[in-house]
Each structure stands twice: as C-alpha cells, then as structure tokens.
Chains A and B, each alone.
Chain A
Amino acid sequence: MKPGFLSRNPSVLTFLAVLAIFTLAVTFLSEAYGAGLVSTSMVKTLGKTLTLCLIAIAMDLIWGYTGILSLGHFAFFGLGGYMVGMWLMYARTREIVLSSAGGALPMTPQELQDAIATQIFGVVGTSELPAVWSFAGSLPAQLALVVLVPGILAFVFGWFAFKSRVTGVYLSILTQAMTLALSLYLFQNDSGLRGNNGLSGLQNIPGLDAVGQDALSVWFLWASALALALGYLLANFVVSGKFGSVIRGIRDDEARVRFLGYSVENYKLFVFTLTAIIAAIAGALYYPQAGIINPAEIAPIASIYLAVWVAIGGRGRLYGAVIGAAFVSLVSTWFTGGRAPDVPLGFYTIKWVDWWSVLLGLSFVLVTLFAPKGIAGIVDWVQGLRPPKRGGTPLGPDDGSLQEKEALE
C-alpha cells in the first residue's frame, strides 16, 4: 500500500500540534481572552514572528530546496504589506473624513475622494489620488492585488532571469538589484505610496473600532498561525512528491535534470512565483500587526537577514526554516530591545544594543562554516543516537547491509 501524505511526512503532525498548542497557550495567557500574563505588544510580536516563519518557509523552498539564493523575497513581503496597507489606510481615512465632515450637504464622491487624498498625501505635498490607489477603496480588490502584484512581478522577473539562464551568484545579485530598485523607487515621493513616510496607522482596522487592540492582536495571531499552518502543509506537499524530487535535483545538479528532459526553467519559475506569493501573504499579515510600513523595510538587507534566519535554522527542511526565523527574530528582539543584561568586562561594558549585530554576524559565519545544517541539525543528531529500527532479512551478505523494510521505504 502506498503510504499516505501524513505518514510519509511525520514532521507535519508534530509541527501542527506544536503550533496549535502555542496558539492556544498564547490565547489563554493573553489580556483579551485569558490570564493577561502575555501583554498585547508581546502577542503582536509573537504574531509577527509567525508571519516571519511563513516567509522563512518560502525562502527555504526557493533556497533550501531549489538552490536559488533569492535576495529579493522581502520585496514581495513588503509589496504584500503595501497592498493591504493601502486599503487599511484608505478605508480608515474615509471613516475619519466622513465622521468629521461638516456642512449641510452630503459629500459628492469627488469631494469625498479629494478629502481622503488630501489627508493621505498631505505629507508628500499633493492632494491627488495616484492611479495605483484606484482599487484602494475595495477590500476584495486589494486582497486580490496582494497576490497578483508580487506574483506578476515575480513571474516577469523570473521569466527573464531563468530564460536567459542566469544562475548562481549572478541570480542572487540580480534579485538584490531588483530589491534595491524597488525600494529606491518607493523612496520617491512621486511613487504614489507616500515616499519614505510609508503607510501608517495600519493597526487600526476600519469597521472594527469597537474591538480593542488586545483582542485584535489575538485575532491576528490566529490568522497568522492559520496561514503558517496552511503554508507549511502546502510547502510540504510541494516538496514531498515527484515535484519535490525534481526541484531537489535542480538544486544538486541542474544540468543533469535538464538532460533528463525536465524543463528546469519552468520548475524554477513556478517555485519562484509560488514563494513570492507566500511571502506576499506573510507580508499582508505582518504589517497590520506592525502598524507601519516604509520603503526601508524592503531594502536588500532585510532579504539577506531572511537568508540568515533560514541558514541558522537549517536549510533544506521546512521546520528548520521555521525554527531559525522564530529563534533569530525573537532573540534579536530580546537583545535589541535593551532587555538583555550588559556584560561588564572591567575595561569595557558590552551593551547588547550595540553589539548584537556583531554577535549575529559572527555566529552566522560560524554556522555557515561549521554547522551547515543549522539548528535543525540537532534533530539528526538526536535521531542518530537511537539505533535504527530494522526488520526482515538482510538483503546482502555483509554486516549492516540494508534490510527488507528499509529498502521498501
């Protein structure tokens, strides 16, 4: 009998169980629904971390499994955030304008739009609504754009890059250039997305004023956990079948896979676009929790940090990426938040706010050099401690040769 999806991927159940327990625990400890031991800002941090885990899964798919080191996935993450942020900002400003409107006459649509545009774009010195905001009034349209804009961008970019067989470090630099171009473009005031002011006030969800931030943060935690669970399932599904074998083959020896008759470019393009969409969804969930988005978030450095998380967590296995993203971003928050104790050395006191980046950079070098498997390598090590389950008759004459049950799998 062919084993089922779950029995072939035992890590999925463990992962889902851990995620569910974590979500429930946070819910029952939160201020809104439970004991109040976990503060609202902490719930938000945890929710954001879950979305970062989601984009780490995307990064692992494209890098750990397909072997394409993309330094541009945070651009898609940011674009997703911008798309949802546009609706949040537009709809919220619309509520404010309507509630503060004076005068005896109801507003014409034109007047309403002008007032909203003046509110939103006053900071960059215009009062006209740019064309990119055409759909900002409609939530379904903007949600569709969350998927479409990064998806199409990734598709077009990937089409050009993969068809001309740009590979390896060239591709990495090219993706980095794309990210840089996008962030420089968004930094301009006339990009139509408020330049370096970015979009703000995203934590206020229009129409949900009655619900406090404490409850909203838990809702977003649930949404993020759900998205992470679905993303994990999807990624596991993608990498577990024949498709997964092909993309791993591309990672290990691209030319050989091509000679076997597979269209390497199309596989790469599919994975690149799929991961861009996953990243965009993660971004769309992240920024309402963060409350503000600006072009600095898209800068190439962010995408490189993403690679750092995945590398530290362990490439080539999905839970590794999740562990890496969660571990590094939480530790990073702890160190840079000023809560880590200073280390007095007598002649100099190490303040972690200043030295955390140094520690991160160096530990990253050490991980790359000495532990290419990352944190998830510990799992291998633990499994290696136990004797393997063996059964059936030996298939060969030597001691330790494969036995029947092993060969079946």
Chain B
Amino acid sequence: MRSLLLALATGCLLALPSLPVSAQDAPATAETTLPAAPASASLTGLAAVLAANAEAIAKPSRQTIGPVIAEIGAAGAGAPEFLEAWADRRVGQRKDGAFFLIAKSADGWDLTDPASGQPAGTAPKSEITELKPNSGVRGLIASALVEFQLSDPDPAKRRAALEALARNGGPEHIEPLRAAIDNEPDATIRAQKERLEGLLTIRYGSSTERRVAAISQFGSDLGLDLRGAINPLLATTRKAFTGAPEGNLAAELTPGKGDFDAEAAYALLVAQGLAPARLTRTALRSALESHVENGMVGGIPVAELDDPKLRDAAYTALEAAGTVPPAATDDEVAAAVAAHRYADIYAEPDASVTDAARGALKGIEIKVGAMQVADLALDALSLGSIYFLAAIGLAITFGVMRVINMAHGEFITMGAYTGYVVQTWISDYTTSILVALPLAFAVTFGAGVAMERLVIRHLYKRPLETLLATFGISIALQQIFKNVFGTQARPLTSPAWLDGAWTLNDVVSISYIRIAIFVLALIFLAVFLFIMTRTRLGLEVRAVTQNPSMAASMGINPDRINMLTFGLGSGIAGIAGVAIGLFAKVTSELGSDYIVQSFMTVVVGGVGNIWGTLAGATLIGSLQKGIEWFNPSNTLAAQTYMILFIIVFIQFRPRGIIALKGRAAGD
C-alpha cells in the first residue's frame, strides 16, 4: 500500500515539474542555514505525500479530503504531529508551496519542517499563508489522529483519545483499536480499550459471530455506554406492507390489538402513500365553505350546517356532483386497513444480532431495575433523614411537651441564616460550617427560650391558642427575615469535600452532602436518646411531661425544665436549618416548606416517642420517593398523594405508628 502511494507521489512529482523547482527556491528566500527537507532531491515519506497533495491540503473540503488524510496518516514519521498541527491551525504554506509547522515569532513565523521535526528557519508574515481547515475537516483529522494517539506514550493522551472514540467511533476505528490493545502497559486504560473495542464491535463488527460474541461477552453489564451501543440495534420502524412483511421482523401488528388501532394503521398507510388522506374536520369545513351557492351547500341550507351529520351529507352531495374530490369514507378506510399487514422492523438487518441484543438488554433491564430500587431506597433514606432532622426538634416540643410550635419552621430558617451570616465573616467553608453549627444552636436556643418565657408559658392550658400565638410569631419572624435579608435566595456553600457524589455504578449514586445529612440525623438520634435516658435533664423532662405537679413536689422546677426542653428543641431546629440550607436555597420561606411535613412526620410516627418520629420520617420519605418514581415529572402530584395517604393513615392509626399506651398517652 505504502509503496503504491509512493509510486503515485513520484508520478505526481514527475507530472508537475514546477513543484520541485519552487521547492528548491525555498531555502534561498527563507535565508536559512539549515538544509530544508524539500531540498533533498528524492522526496520520501510525509514530504512526498504533502507535496503530492499540496492543493487539496491548502484548500481542503470535507467531501474530498478523506483519502488525503488517510494518506498522510500512513506516511510515517512526523505524520501525527503534522495532523495535530493542521487541526490546531498551526500549519502554514509558504509561497513556494511547501508546508511547515508554524509558530508566531517576533517578526513573522518560526518554521518547523513537518517530516524531520527540525527547525526550518523563519519567514516574514507575507511569505506564509496559514491553513484554516473548517470544523468538518478538523473532525476528520481528529479521527485519523486517534490511531496515533491510542499508542501515544502519554497516558493522558491515550485516555483523551479513548474518550473521543467513545463519543464518535466508527467502523474504521476497530482495527487500530485492536492493534493498540496488546502493547498497552496501563491496566486501567487497557480495560477501557478492551471495553471500547467490544462496544464498537457490537455496532460495527465485520461478522455476525463477532458481534454476537461481543454482545454476550458483556453479560448484564450496567454501563450506560453498553446500553447506548445496544439500544440503536433494537430501534424499530413501523411499516405497512401489501404482502408479507420484509426485513428483520420485530413484531407483526394486528390493528385493534394493543395500542395499535385502526386509526393508527390508516395513518401509517397515508404516510406511506398507500391510501388517500382522510377528510379532516377543517378540510370538510373549508370544502363546504367554498361551495356555498344561494345560501345552500349540496342542497342543504347553510344555517343548518352546525350538525356534523348534515355536513357529511352535504359533502356527499357535492362529491356526487363531482365538484369536490372523493375522500375516504369509513368503509373504504376499513377495507384499506384490512388489506394490509403491519409490522415493526428492526433497522438492524441481522436477525441473530438483534436476538442477542434483545436477550442482553433483558438481562440488563432486570439488573437495572434492581439497582434502581436500590437507588430509590437510598434517595428515600436521604429524604427521610432530612425530614427527621426537620422534625426532631418538633418531636421534642410537640411530642414531649405537647406544645404546638408553628414557628418551628422559622427556627429552621433562623439556623440557615445564621450559617449564611457566619460564611460572610469566615471565608473558609469548612471552618465556617464548624462555627455555624454550634452558633445556630445557640441562636435558636436563645430564641426558643425567649419565646417560651414570653408567650408559651402563659398558654400551657390552651393548646389551640398556642398554635395561633406561635403562628403569629411565625408571620412576624418570616417578614423580619424578608426585611433583613431580602427576598432573594442567599447562598450557604458546603465545603469542597462535600461536593460530588458517591457513585456505585451508572445507576446508583448519592451525593456526599446527603450522606452527611444522614450521618447528622443519626448523631441527633443518638444525642436525643442519650439526653433523654442517661442524663439528669432527661429524667426531669420525662418527669415533668408525665406529671408536672408530682415532679414539682419532688423538687424539680417545672418552669426551668419546660424552658430548657423548649430551648433544646428549638436549638436542634437551628442545626437542622444549617444542614438543610446546605442543599436548599436559603430564603425566608425555607422553614415553612418543611413545617407541614415535619408535623406529619411527628403525627404519623406517634407523638412522644423518638422511634416513632424516626419511623414516620422513613415512611414519609420513602412514600414520597416511591410516588415520585411512578410519576417522576410531577413532584407536586407526589406531595398531593402523600398528604392524602397521610390523611387516610391517620384515620386508621390516629395515634401514629408507635402509639403511647396507658397513662403516658395522656388524654
């Protein structure tokens, strides 16, 4: 092959005597000290190819440049560098027709000889015409380059070449890729190469056996790239046939069965030109309108033509008179539909390939389904832990103290804004979050204690009015946030080590921030349990909850305990606010988005029991994700159905999943 090209090139050289002449002129004009390659009498390798195709290279077109690029690629030493430079617009043609790799210098261009890679002196700007191949040509050059890049000593280049191939590899790349596998030193890149070779073979393999083997070699691999390679094989087109269906048959269709009805069948016939189009309502209307005579159409008065039946009758009359073209009637449509056969035909003609692909895809789908369930479970867990975080403070104030705090959402917002303010002071995100968490607790603890002292203390005997009073506080706080921080969302940026996601495979992945929130929720659960069951405060809180007067007579100060409990619940809301603010937008409405869900969590779980809250959060989280899975485009519907479910759930278990029994249940 190469010798043939050389012969061709020499032939061209002989036929074009002007070329060597001008090439010989070159050194003189470029006043160089080094002997330039074109000067040597017998041109070989790259130089010969370039010289032979000078015109095509100087003015390349996408349609014709293909063979020339292939020729250059096969020309040996210097070819990859030349192609790369050409694609990068770093090649120039000197006035005498010789090509050089060019680089800008102070007074013109530094030239490099493409074949030898040696500096070839300089040239003034006027001497050199830059080559500017268009994007189509550059694409062709790039794919020719792949071959060289696949064996490039630099692993990064090899990886880039593989990525380029994965995007737009073609049949011509299979052989170079196979050749590049054996001498690959890096095990990871070798595996990538083998995988890509398999994928390309599936799509463009030379024989059926090879393709089927390539498909089966993957098994039920979960990669998106494999599904991307297999799915096009199974693409079908729906066609109508006058006789038996031809081609690689996917399925034969009978009109009226499944979702393929007679209307669709007839539309197919019309689209293939096998039957005349039906008369649409608009066409009927305009046909009638253009044949109004003396206020009548086809013998029927215009005023009566608001009845579809009379319109049909009028059209039939016109048809009989021959003034309008006949349109398909229902009988004709039925006959035409019955006279044809319909089938889905694979675009891929090879039946054994499509069979293998279908089998492989089925296996993959089962596995993907299982993985999706796992992914959904992770999502649900993460959403559940967010709800748990939002609700745990409420579980303390509402669950333990039976105080409805509608301003709980605003405490969450307060925590998030505390995080934002801290970030404006401390620019390091990790430090600022570490500072913000305790500070948010302190701020909301203070706010909670103040609210308990000033308002709630007076309303312990009137729970419904606590709801209203705290709601008044909620309105006021929300508006104050708006006035202070504005209505636009404020950023609360997570540290860099929380960016990104933990990816198990192409289906299952979860972002680190959600894992962090899950861990935070677990920590809170532990802290809550510790405080309630292992500390003096917890003991006193439980005593006051169960029987305030008895607790008081045992020397516990109920006022103080109520204050601390309320502060604790509010403080946890503040920390939850920081966590929620990391992934949601921090606005004054942040907390109120979670308030109803938080109440639901506590109520569904069962009041007065932290495990109930945990169960409630898990239930609501998985429920919401589950419903979203059925209808992924519509999260509003998911929320609607979830709330409806909760309303029904409350009917059957009014005291929640884990109900307190006996005296502890209170009323």
Q: Mark B475-504, 1 if CB is under 8 A from A, else 0.
A: 111111011000000000000000000000
A304's contact among B404, B471, B479, by CB below 8 Å, is which?
A: B471
Nearest-Cβ distance from residue A68 to partner chain B, whole angstroms? 9
Q: List 11 A-B contacts (CB under 8 A).
A: A107-B306, A160-B647, A172-B464, A173-B596, A174-B650, A177-B647, A180-B639, A355-B483, A361-B474, A364-B469, A364-B472
Q: Which residues of B contact A343 (CB under 8 A)?
A: none
Q: Are B650 and A362 closer than 8 Å at their CB atoms?
A: no
Contact A178 B596 (CB under 8 A): no
B438 to chain A, nearest CB (A): 28
Q: Which residue of B lies closest to A362 (CB)?
A: B476
- CB of B303 within 8 A of CB of A106, answer yes
Q: Give chain A residues whose Cβ lies under 8 Å from the Cβ of B472.
A: 308, 360-365, 368
> Is B32 close to A, CB under 8 A?
no
CB atoms of A170 and B404 under 8 A apart: no
Residue of B475, B600, B646 near A360 (CB, 8 A) is: B475
Interface size class of B (residues with CB under 8 A): 35 or more
The answer to whether B646 touches A170 (Cβ under 8 A) is: no
Contact stretch, chosen from B3-11, B99-107, B281-289? B281-289
| Bound CA–CA A204/B72 (angstroms) | 77
Categorize the interface residue count of chain A: 35 or more
Quick check: B636 and A188 within 8 Å, CB to CB? yes
Alpha-carbon distance between A289 and B644 when the two chains are bound, in angstroms: 32
Q: Which residues of B contact A107 (CB under 8 A)?
A: 306
4 tightest A-B CB contacts, nearest first: A361-B476, A364-B472, A361-B475, A357-B479
Task: Say yes or no: is B459 at the interface (Cβ < 8 Å to chain A).
Answer: yes
Chain B nearest CB from A213 CB (Å) reads 33
User: Is B479 within 8 A of A354, CB to CB?
Assistant: yes
Is B599 positioned at the interface, with any CB of A under 8 Å from its CB? yes
**Quick check: is A393 within 8 A (CB to CB) of the other chain?**
no
Contact A358-B289, Cβ < 8 Å, known A176-B596, A188-B636: no
Among A19-27, A108-116, A242-250, the one that faces the other chain is A108-116
Find out whether the CB atom of A170 lies under 8 angstroms from the CB atom of B603.
Answer: yes
A164–B652 contact, CB under 8 A?
yes
Partner of A187, one of B459, B636, B654: B636
Any chain A CB within 8 A of the CB of B637?
A: yes
Question: Given A104-B302, A177-B647, A181-B644, does the pair A354, B483 have CB atoms closer than 8 Å?
Answer: yes
What separation, in Å, do the CA atoms of A369 and B651 have in the docked complex?
33
User: Across the interface, which residues of B come within 8 angstroms of A280, CB to CB?
Assistant: none
| A289 nearest CB across to chain B (Å) | 26
A169-B463, A361-B474, A364-B475 as given contacts; A177 in contact with B646, CB under 8 Å: yes
With an 8 A cutoff between CB atoms, is B468 at the interface?
Answer: yes
Q: A160-B651, A166-B654 are in contact. Are A354 and B482 (CB under 8 A)?
A: yes
Question: Chain A 83-113, CB within 8 Å of chain B: the 1/0 string?
Answer: 0000000000000000000011111111100
A180 partner residues in chain B, CB cutoff 8 A: 596, 639, 643
Which of A169, A180, A190 gathers most chain B CB within 10 Å?
A169
Which residues of chain A come closer than 8 Å to B40, judged between CB atoms?
none
Contact partners of B285 in chain A: CB under 8 A = 103, 105, 111
8 Å CB interface, B225-262 against A:
none
Separation of A166 and B653 alpha carbons in the complex (Å)? 10
Contacting residue for B455 out of A105, A163, A369, CB 8 A: A369
Q: Number of A-B pairs whose CB atoms are under 8 Å?
A: 153
Known contacts A104-B289, A164-B650, A188-B634; A181 and B643 CB within 8 A of each other: yes
1/0 contact string of A293-331 vs chain B (CB within 8 Å)? 000000010001001100100000000000000000000
Least CB distance, A283 to chain B, in whole angstroms: 21
Q: Are A105 and B289 in contact (CB under 8 A)?
A: yes
- B650–A166 contact, CB under 8 A? yes
Which of B302, B459, B480, B647 lies in contact with A369, CB distance below 8 A? B459
Chain A 223-252 interface mask (CB, 8 Å, partner B; 1/0): 000000000000000000000000000000
Select one of B306, B603, B634 contacting A108, CB under 8 A: B306
Tell me the complex Cα distance, A11–B404, Å: 35
The answer to the question of A161 belonging to the interface, with a C-beta cut-off of 8 Å to chain B, is yes
- A184 in contact (CB, < 8 A): yes
> Is B311 in the interface zone, CB < 8 Å from A?
yes
Closest to A359 in B: B476
Residue in A closest to B303 when the chains form the complex, CB atoms: A106
Q: Which of A109, A190, A311, A361 contacts B306, CB < 8 Å? A: A109
Set of chain B residues within 8 Å of A188, measured between Cβ atoms: 634, 636-637, 640
Against B, the Cβ 8 Å flags (1 = close, 0 = not) of A390-405 are 0000000000000000
With an 8 A cutoff between CB atoms, is B164 at the interface?
no
Asked if A368 meets B465 with Cβ closer than 8 Å, knowing A106-B302, A188-B636, the reply is yes
Q: Is the CB of A172 within 8 A of B467?
A: yes
* Separation of A163 and B651 alpha carbons in the complex (Å): 8
**Interface residue B305 (Cβ < 8 Å from any Cβ of A):** yes
Residues from chain A with a CB closer than 8 A to the CB of B473 are 361-362, 365
Check B479 against A184 for contact (C-beta < 8 Å).
no
Residues in A151-205 with C-beta less than 8 Å from chain B: 157, 160-161, 163-166, 168-170, 172-174, 176-178, 180-181, 184-185, 187-188, 190
A308 CB contact (under 8 Å) in B458, B468, B637, B643: B468
B307 located at the interface, meaning its Cβ lies under 8 Å from any Cβ of chain A in the complex: yes
Q: Is the CB of A358 within 8 A of B467?
A: no
Whether A59 is near chain B, meaning CB under 8 Å from some CB there, is: no
At the interface, yes or no: A69 with Cβ under 8 Å from chain B?
yes
**Which of the residues B292, B458, B480 comes within 8 Å of A104, measured between beta carbons?**
B292
B351 proximal to A (CB < 8 A)? no
Closest chain B residue to A350 by CB distance?
B483
CA distance A170 to B659 in the complex (A): 14
CB-CB under 8 A from B303, the residues of chain A are 106
Q: Enumerate chain A residues within 8 angstroms of B664, measured Cβ to Cβ.
A: none
Q: Is the CB of B467 within 8 A of A165?
A: no
* B160 interface contact, C-beta 8 A: no
Complex Cα–Cα for A127 and B465 (A)? 48
A190 — which chain B residues lie within 8 A by C-beta? 634
Cβ contact of B647, chosen from A103, A178, A184, A358, cutoff 8 A:
A178
Tell whether, in the assembled complex, residue A170 and residue B465 are in contact, meaning their CB atoms are under 8 Å apart.
Answer: no
Assembly CA distance A361 to B406 (angstroms): 12
Is residue A206 contacting chain B, with contact meaning CB distance below 8 A? no
Whether A103 pairs with B289 at a CB distance below 8 angstroms is yes
Q: Is B185 an interface residue (CB 8 A)?
A: no
- Contact residues in A for B404 (Cβ distance below 8 Å): 169, 172
Q: A307's contact among B302, B468, B643, by CB below 8 Å, is which?
A: B468
Q: Which residues of B contact A184 (CB under 8 A)?
A: 636-637, 639-640, 643
- A105 and B459 CA atoms in complex are apart in Å by 72
Q: How far apart sit A320 and B34, CA to CA, in the bound complex (Å)? A: 106
Q: Are A106 and B306 in contact (CB under 8 A)?
A: yes
Which A-chain residue is minimally distant from B643 (CB atoms)? A181
Chain B CB within 10 Å — which of A105, A168, A356 has the most? A105
Interface centre among A104, A172, A363 (most CB of B within 10 A): A104
Q: Taking the complex as formed, is A377 at the interface, i.e. its CB lies under 8 A from any CB of chain B?
A: no
Determine whether B16 belongs to the interface, using a CB cutoff of 8 Å to chain A.
no
Distance in angstroms between the alpha carbons of A355 and B480 in the assembled complex = 8
Interface members, chain A 338-367 (any B CB < 8 Å): 354-358, 360-365
Instruction: Report how far A108 CA is from B471 CA in the complex, Å.
Output: 55
Give the complex CA separation of A184 and B636 in angstroms: 6
Shortest distance from the beta carbon of B228 to any chain A beta carbon, whole Å: 31
A105 to B288, CA, bound (A): 8
With contacts A105-B289, A108-B308, A177-B647 taken as known, whether A368 is within 8 angstroms of B463 at the C-beta atoms is no
Is residue A137 contacting chain B, with contact meaning CB distance below 8 A? no
CB A328 to nearest CB in B, in angstroms, measures 12
Q: Which residues of B contact A105 (CB under 8 A)?
A: 285, 288-289, 297, 302, 305-306, 311
| Cα distance, A103 to B306, chains bound together (Å) | 12
In the complex, the chain B residue whose C-beta lies closest to that of A163 is B651
State whether the Cβ of B648 lies closer than 8 Å to any Cβ in chain A. Answer: yes
CB distance from B606 to the nearest CB of A (A): 12
Tell me the smallest distance from the CB of A343 to a CB of chain B, in Å: 14
Across the interface, which residues of B come within 8 angstroms of A358, CB to CB? 475-476, 479-480, 483
A108/B307 in contact, CB under 8 A: yes
Which A residues are in CB contact (< 8 Å) with B302?
104-106
